[in-house]
Amino acid sequence: MKTVPARHVPALLALLAVPLLHAAVPTAVAIKDAHVVTISGADLPKATVLLRNGLIEDVGPNVTVPAGTWIIDGSGLTVYPGFIDALSTWGIPGAVPPTAGRTTGAAATPAQTTPAPAQALTQSNAQSPAEAEDAGRPNIHGPEDRPQTYSFERAADLITPGDSRLEAARAVGFTSAATFPNRGIVEGLGAVIDLSGERGREMVVAQPVGQQILFRVGGGGMGRAFPASLMGNIAYIRQLYLDLNQYKEAKQIYAANPSGNKRPEYDHALEGLAEAPRILLPADQAQQIDRMISFGQELKTPFVLYGAHEAFKCLDEIKQANVPVLISLKWPVAERDANPEDIPNYRDLVIREQSPAVAGMFAKAGVKFAFYSDGVDSAPDLKRAIKKAIDAGLSRADAIRALTLTPAEIYGIGDRMGSIEKGKIANVVVMKGEAFDDKSTVEYVFVDGTMYKPSKELQQGPANGGPGGRRGAPTPTNDDNDGGH
Amino acid sequence: MRRVLLVVIAACAAAAVSRAETILIRNATVLTITKGAIENGSVLIENGKIAAIGKKVSAPADATIVDASGKYLMPGIIDCHSHTAIEGGVNEGTLSDSSMVNIKDVINPNDINIYRSLAGGLTISNVLHGSANAIGGQTIVVKLRWGKSAQEMIMEGAKPGIKFALGENPKRAGEPSQNFFSQGAAPERRYPGTRMGVEEVIRESFAEAKNYQAEWKDYNDRVAKGEHPIPPRKDLRLEPLVEVMEGQRYVHAHCYRSDEILMLIRVADEMGFKIRTFQHVLEGYKVAREIKEHGAGASTFSDWWSYKIEAFDATPYNAAIMAKKGVVVSLNSDSDELQRHLNLEAAKTMRYGGMTPTEALAMVTINPAKQLGIDDKVGSIEVGKSADLALFDQDPLSNYSKCLRVWIDGHQYFDRDKDLETRPKFNEEKKQLLQKENAPATGQRTGRPVANAPGASEEAYR
Amino acid sequence: MRSILGFLGFALMPVALWAAGDNSVLVRNVDVHPVTGADIRNGAVLVIDGKIVEVGAHVAPHGGVKVVDGHGLQLYPGLINAATNVGLSEVESLRDTIDLDEIGTFNPELRAEVAFNPSSEHVEVTRASGITTVITLPGSGGRGRSATASVITGQGALMHLEGWTWEEMAIKPSAVMDMLFPEIQSGGGRGGFAAFLNQGATRSYAEEERQYKQKLAQISQFFDEARRYEIAKAAGAPEFKRDVRLEAMIPVIDGKQSLFVRAERERMIKDAIEFADKEKVKIIIADPRELGSTGSLLKEHNIPVVLGKTFQLPMRDDDPYDAPYTLPNDFYKAGVKFCFGTFDTEFARNVPFEAAQAAAFGLPKEAALRGLTINSAQILGADNEIGSIEKGKVGDFILTDGDPLEAKTNIKQMFIGGREVPLESRHTREFEKWMKRP
């Protein structure tokens, strides 16, 4: 608090007391004489950032601060663009509960306020609610029944400011997230949201920004609905894209020649797919990365990989493919409470050792990458997870970029967020000390211009790491090799 | 160079293919399989192919010489039925016909069983979908090029296949059973639940495929006439069946009982396709004549039996009976373990049915090559064929033999000496990794300790 | 428990398969491999009334005894598979044909021999590989051994693969007490059968360990109970009540019957040894998958081992590819006495190949053969009767055209108790029958 001029203290405290009320947001705040890391341009060792009406009105060493502006003395502080979680569930508290019928699925409002224990892995053995629902459906005959497909579901419709994780995320400096629904294999349309707002709809910055694919595998298919295997998942997505092409063509031909042609059937699932500007494909281990690069190219649709823990083995291939990659911050680590007799595999040990270095390698190789929280939700855990990549060779500057402008660019919204530039959304973090240093603290976070001052308690713990990421690293299932004999 | 290789070579990206060496393997007993055995023979490998074979073979000066005195050189072993290196499930058993799925999509080149099998002389596997349904998934022939990517393991010029399954396995999901699959939820019974139903599924699918073929023909005809019809939906389930009818894809049919073998032959006759191989085919000995007349091969187990009722009329003489009756017979593994010693499985046919050593080894080399339509490239030691070779310390039909070295396309993929040599280094490397992991991280926790959170947040960053 | 005299009594009874008195034979002009002594080229073996009476280079014909000319053949002791379920299991997938794994935690009173189906097809099939004797165990070994799993599955019987009834077949009906040592389930773990069934419901290691210790305590308590029972019985107190379950434990706690302890991993082996020490019982370690640091312990305690299949996949990805192949030699080098078993029914006949594979990877060939003959007999406490070609032993042997550990070798003739038994089986009959189909 020392850095804030005494005369402003009461007003700021008043603001902080009602952080969610936009009405209380000052029309203008100036962070004066701070070190500004703009990302898009040069670092400004001593500059002022002027925020007004939810936008960055100006930035530079010589900014004219209008009368009546709230002033924060930024000397000794650093201003960064707000961080973006590049693949998230923040804003959608808990898993969407299974609903009786698919028709009501999209409309189901998440009622839970605490995140449910994350179960589904990128390649999950666990049955998802959607899958349970599908398994109970009598008529999954194949891809044509669109099993586990929620391509039409919109994160934008599910967002609520009531998600308790938002506060923790802001406490590390996150102001935005690319949030996706989490049902089924084709999970729905993501939205980039700001982590503040009175209503969900106010939080949405851009949508749809993509379609997330999650392979759900297990059980050998006995008593479960198609698709139960990885190859089934892949074949299904492949068929969906073939169907999509045919759907588009059929609609076109029909529009031109309705007479004598049977009208193409309306397909909810394909509509959702058609709308997605890109798809996100799960790829954690080397062979999965290789597989998904080929698959993404085959689908002829822009794609992004997520996972990437073993990407240190395929730098060249990723570079050649020119594909953006989202790195999971849920670093693979030794299993807690493991049987001491179970010595981990060499490969797993290497992955545990090397995965935090992937980001640094990407930076050197020129691969476009960003980070995603992957179920790491507490402030100290997030901070340490990012620090781990820095300790493993990623420069701080590259780390900040991977948390700001790069994810914004990946989702095609680099023109409105991700850097401290005149005219962009007022998402900024004001820190004491350098970001992710152990001793650094987040002094202020501005989300859409709304100011927050995260408590020390929240920043330092106790951590509530939770049981693990919902988008955990895809693990190879070691199915009982029941080829049958 | 087991797992170390994994690190050194990018197992994901296309590794730079080193230029094939010129190698002369000298003084071996060369078991050509198709052209007899040559004592103190030599084999010259050039550009990944077998360039010369004989008692006296001259090699260029830069050739690498492998002295194989007292050792036995045989063609790389070929397994016509494997489920190795499949990631994320061997079966898509949810449907009666899951022909849209493709093993090619899920080959895991990092599966350690690839290396383990190389170490037993195996060089080629026909990797199949499981047997949970009447029409399973598409199959692929792989060469065990350990260290290469999935794409690079797929054998060039080998026709892909599709797995069919008859009998108990495909009808199991349709049985109201108490087996472990039904624990938890009571799964729905999936059609079919009888062998009759299995037949029906296959006939029905081919009938659909024929309609599908016609639909596309009609569409193409109309387009040709200048009309603007809406294209039919491209159906990944029916496409492979059309390919089967057009002879572009092999059918590998899992089966046990003689009735179902005969049944499939008659369905194939009716629908106008060929069965390339009957797999397991434990009662093939009862209908060897019909199998031969259809032109199918038989890929069976050396001596498996009694694990289920349809395997109770099995006999280890099956391979010999079918062979004696003119069927091309191979021995398969269906198992990551068994595929490590198919040469020893072959030896059993000498006891069970009196196969000659060459006939026995043919069942794991040239015969499976014939069944997979790759006998022009592999399966025997002949000039012009791929240099897929396995060197054994003694007669590979001896239970005391072991494999020493393996080449695929002239590249050495296994060398027992190197494996042994690398072990201490590997163990040391692993020990260091473990130590490093267990050591308290430096420079990480300089801040105050995280209170009240014993272990809770550990996994996120440790 | 019947004695060897009892057995011989049965063997001597005129219930033979062929003709009376057909359990005497002279095999001559044959290369004899006694296992316990030097090989004899062109030797002879004389069996009178089921027992070997003479072995040597020159054995005179014995009046009226059938003579078999073994020219060009090799004579070996009948092979022993020291761990099978033969006789109790017919078709693996059909529960009705399986008599393994009785319900209950402690079933020491169960006896495998009484359920041994002498007409099982597996008897003839197994025999065809030169195997004359098997141990039949009442437990399958269990898959995904859980805290609720059975511990003592019953008594394993040493059975001849010949006879009209199980009584005639039994050599040593209560040869071993089959015990599944508890196992700490590896918590979590990817895939695996347990994980497959209880998706996501795996317990922590701490919890597993707690349950494991609880289970060990439960076992100790059972042994205590048996000991108290024995004391009460000996005291002959009027209130003493007979209990078949505890009664069956007496030979075990008296050290007269070995506990056949299935222990796959290093820790289980160590804990089993500790347990045996504490309870002062005799044990055999069965089906170990690794030696680890247990070699000297096993040797010091003079604990023998029945090895499972050599043809297995290594336990861990990082293990050397040949780890299961070299395991028997690891035990050999550690000076531990061992023999071979298959712990199944279907592949019981392949036990010679399991031993040969070990020999391919370092185990001396003699040790491989001993692991199928004399070592097995010694470990199972039947070396007075079987396991080698020696005077006084039962006339169990095979005539072959080569090394019986080689698949390419043909087993030509088999004698059990001096009586020739056919090598035909369901498998050869199918062969004969269907070769005739036009």
Query: Using the beta-carbon criterion (under 8 Å), do C321 and B115 form an inter-chain contact?
Result: yes
Spatial distance between the Cα atoms of A30 and A52, rounded to a whole number of angstroms: 9
Query: Using the beta-carbon criterion (under 8 Å), do A353 and B455 form an inter-chain contact?
Result: no
Cβ density class B33-52: b for 16+ within 10 Å, e for less: beeebbeebbbbbbebbbbe
Residue numbers of A between 131 and 170 with CB closer than 8 Å to B: 135, 138, 140-143
Query: Using the beta-carbon criterion (under 8 Å), do A476 and C204 form an inter-chain contact?
Result: no
Residue A335: its chain C contacts at CB < 8 A?
187-188
pLDDT of A90 strictly over 70: yes
Instruction: Give which of A131, A229, A342, A477 to mutate to test C binding, by max C Cβ within 10 Å.
Output: A342
Instruction: Give which of C131, C329, C434, C436 to mutate to test B binding, by max B Cβ within 10 Å.
Output: C434
pLDDT digits (tens, 9 = 90+) for B289-325: 999 999 999 999 999 999 999 999 999 999 999 999 9
Residue A323: its chain B contacts at CB < 8 A?
none
**pLDDT attached to residue B462:** 23
What are C290's two structure tokens?
């690794």
Q: Which of C91, C312, C313 sits opposite B306 (nearest CB)?
A: C91
**pLDDT attached to residue A338:** 83
Instruction: Give which of C184, C199, C208, C294 to mutate to test A binding, by max A Cβ within 10 Å.
Output: C199
Please tell me if residue C96 touches chain B, with a CB cutoff of 8 Å: no
Q: How far C345 CA sits from the closest chain B CA (Å)?
A: 9
pLDDT digits (tens, 9 = 90+) for A273-299: 999 999 999 999 999 999 999 999 999
Q: Backbone dihedral region of B313: left (phi > 0), alpha (psi from -120 to 50 degrees) or beta? A: alpha
Give the contacts of A395 (CB within 8 A, at least 6 positions apart): A360, A363
Helix or strand run (H / E) with residue B39: strand B37-46
Residue numbers of A between 230 and 289 with CB closer than 8 Å to B: 230-236, 238-239, 242-243, 246, 249-250, 253-254, 256-257, 261-262, 264, 285-289
End-to-end Cα spacing for chain C = 54
**pLDDT attached to residue A75:** 96
Query: Using the beta-carbon criterion (under 8 Å), do A483 and B334 form an inter-chain contact?
Result: yes
Spatial distance between the Cα atoms of B31 and B399, rounded to a whole number of angstroms: 17
**pLDDT attached to residue C185:** 73
The answer to whether the CB of C24 falls within 8 A of the CB of C65 is yes
- pLDDT band of residue A218 (cuts 50, 70, 90) is confident
**pLDDT attached to residue A119:** 27
pLDDT digits (tens, 9 = 90+) for C18-34: 443 689 999 999 999 99
**pLDDT attached to residue A14:** 45
pLDDT of C435 strictly over 80: yes
**pLDDT attached to residue B19:** 62
pLDDT of A8 strictly over 70: no
Please tell me if residue A477 touches chain B, with a CB cutoff of 8 Å: yes
Instruction: Give which of B336, B458, B461, B462 to mutate to test A binding, by max A Cβ within 10 Å.
Output: B461
Query: Using the beta-carbon criterion (under 8 Å), do B400 and C365 form an inter-chain contact?
Result: yes
Query: Using the beta-carbon criterion (under 8 Å), do B419 and C321 form an inter-chain contact?
Result: yes
Subunit partners of chain A (3 or more CB pairs within 8 A): B, C
Please tell me if residue C322 touches chain B, with a CB cutoff of 8 Å: yes
Query: Using the beta-carbon criterion (under 8 Å), do C321 and B3 form an inter-chain contact?
Result: no
Please tell me if residue C401 touches chain B, with a CB cutoff of 8 Å: no
The answer to whether the CB of B386 falls within 8 A of the CB of B49 is yes
Helix or strand run (H / E) with residue A321: helix A315-321
Residue B137: its chain A contacts at CB < 8 A?
231, 235
Note the maximum CA span of chain B: 81
pLDDT of C8 strictly over 90: no
**pLDDT attached to residue A468:** 37
- pLDDT band of residue A483 (cuts 50, 70, 90) is very low
Higher per-residue confidence, A482 vs A108: A482
Query: Using the beta-carbon criterion (under 8 Å), do A338 and C188 form an inter-chain contact?
Result: yes
pLDDT digits (tens, 9 = 90+) for C368-384: 999 999 999 999 999 99
Q: What is the DSSP letter of B51?
A: E
Q: Which of B89, B187, B443 sits opposite A479 (nearest CB)?
A: B89
Q: How far A6 CA sits from the closest chain C CA (Å)?
A: 54
Residue numbers of C between 300 and 319 with CB closer than 8 Å to B: 311-314, 317-318
Residue A479: its chain C contacts at CB < 8 A?
191, 196
Type of residue at B274: K
Helices of type H across B356-399: 357-362, 366-371
Residue C401: its chain B contacts at CB < 8 A?
none
Average pLDDT over every residue of C159-172 = 97
Give the contacts of A210 (CB within 8 A, at least 6 positions apart): A178, A180, A189, A190, A276, A277, A278, A279, A280, A304, A411
Give the contacts of B302 (CB within 8 A, at least 6 positions apart): B316, B319, B331, B345, B346, B348, B349, B352
* Closest to A182 measured CA to CA, from A224, A203, A219, A213: A213
pLDDT of A450 strictly over 70: yes
Q: Which of B10, B106, B459 sits opposite A231 (nearest CB)?
A: B106
**pLDDT attached to residue A223:** 53
**pLDDT attached to residue A262:** 87
Residue C427: its chain B contacts at CB < 8 A?
305, 314-317, 352
* Closest to B362 measured CA to CA, from B29, B27, B36, B26: B36
Please tell me if residue A227 touches chain B, with a CB cutoff of 8 Å: yes
- pLDDT band of residue C3 (cuts 50, 70, 90) is very low
Query: Using the beta-carbon criterion (under 8 Å), do A478 and C190 form an inter-chain contact?
Result: yes
Give the contacts of B404 (CB within 8 A, at least 6 positions apart): B71, B391, B392, B393, B415, B416, B417
Query: Using the beta-carbon criterion (under 8 Å), do A222 and B187 form an inter-chain contact?
Result: yes
**pLDDT attached to residue A225:** 84
Instruction: Give which of C321, C361, C363, C365 to mutate to test B binding, by max B Cβ within 10 Å.
Output: C321
Spatial distance between the Cα atoms of A266 and A455, rounded to a whole number of angstroms: 51
**pLDDT attached to residue A25:** 57
Cβ density class A31-59: b for 16+ within 10 Å, e for less: bbbbbbbbbeeeebeebbbbbbebbbbbb
pLDDT of A92 strictly over 80: yes
- pLDDT band of residue A219 (cuts 50, 70, 90) is low
Mean pLDDT of chain C: 91
Q: How far A219 CA sits from the closest chain C CA (Å)?
A: 7
> HSE-up of B259 (CA within 13 Å, CB side)?
9
Spatial distance between the Cα atoms of A472 and B341, rounded to a whole number of angstroms: 38
Closest residue in B to A137 (Cα) is B188
pLDDT digits (tens, 9 = 90+) for A48-70: 999 999 999 999 999 999 998 99
Query: Using the beta-carbon criterion (under 8 Å), do C190 and A475 form an inter-chain contact?
Result: yes
Q: Which of B95, B149, B307 sits opposite A290 (nearest CB)?
A: B149
Q: Which of A126, A345, A477 sits opposite C317 (nearest CB)?
A: A345
**Residue-by-residue pLDDT tens, chain B, 462 positions:** 333 333 333 345 444 445 678 999 999 999 999 999 999 999 999 999 999 999 999 999 999 999 999 999 999 999 999 999 999 999 999 899 999 999 999 999 999 999 999 999 999 999 999 999 999 999 999 999 999 999 999 999 999 999 999 999 999 877 654 444 444 444 567 889 999 999 999 999 999 999 999 999 999 999 999 998 999 999 999 999 999 999 999 999 999 999 999 999 999 999 999 999 999 999 999 999 999 999 999 999 999 999 999 999 999 999 999 999 999 999 999 999 999 999 999 999 999 999 999 999 999 999 999 999 999 999 999 999 999 999 999 999 999 999 999 999 999 999 999 999 999 999 999 999 999 988 765 433 333 333 332 332 222 222
**pLDDT attached to residue A134:** 53
pLDDT digits (tens, 9 = 90+) for C247-287: 999 999 999 999 999 999 999 999 999 999 999 999 999 99
Query: Using the beta-carbon criterion (under 8 Å), do B399 and C406 form an inter-chain contact?
Result: yes
Spatial distance between the Cα atoms of C104 and C123, rounded to a whole number of angstroms: 28
Query: Using the beta-carbon criterion (under 8 Å), do C196 and A219 form an inter-chain contact?
Result: yes
The answer to whether the CB of A305 falls within 8 A of the CB of A292 is yes
Residue with tokens 């023998």: C304
pLDDT of A253 strictly over 90: yes
Instruction: Give which of C86, C93, C318, C432 to mutate to test B binding, by max B Cβ within 10 Å.
Output: C93
Query: Using the beta-carbon criterion (under 8 Å), do C197 and B183 form an inter-chain contact?
Result: yes
Query: Using the beta-carbon criterion (under 8 Å), do A349 and B187 form an inter-chain contact?
Result: no
pLDDT digits (tens, 9 = 90+) for C388-414: 999 999 999 999 999 999 999 999 999
Residue A343: its chain C contacts at CB < 8 A?
316, 318
Average pLDDT over every residue of A226-247 = 96
Q: How far C357 CA sits from the closest chain B CA (Å)?
A: 6
Query: Using the beta-carbon criterion (under 8 Å), do A479 and B90 form an inter-chain contact?
Result: yes
Helix (H, G, I), strand (E, B) or coil at C43: strand
Average pLDDT over every residue of A241-264 = 93
Spatial distance between the Cα atoms of A389 and C118, rounded to a whole number of angstroms: 68
Helix (H, G, I), strand (E, B) or coil at C310: coil
> Which regions of A190-302 does DSSP assign to beta strands (E)?
191-194, 204-206, 211-213, 215-216, 279-283
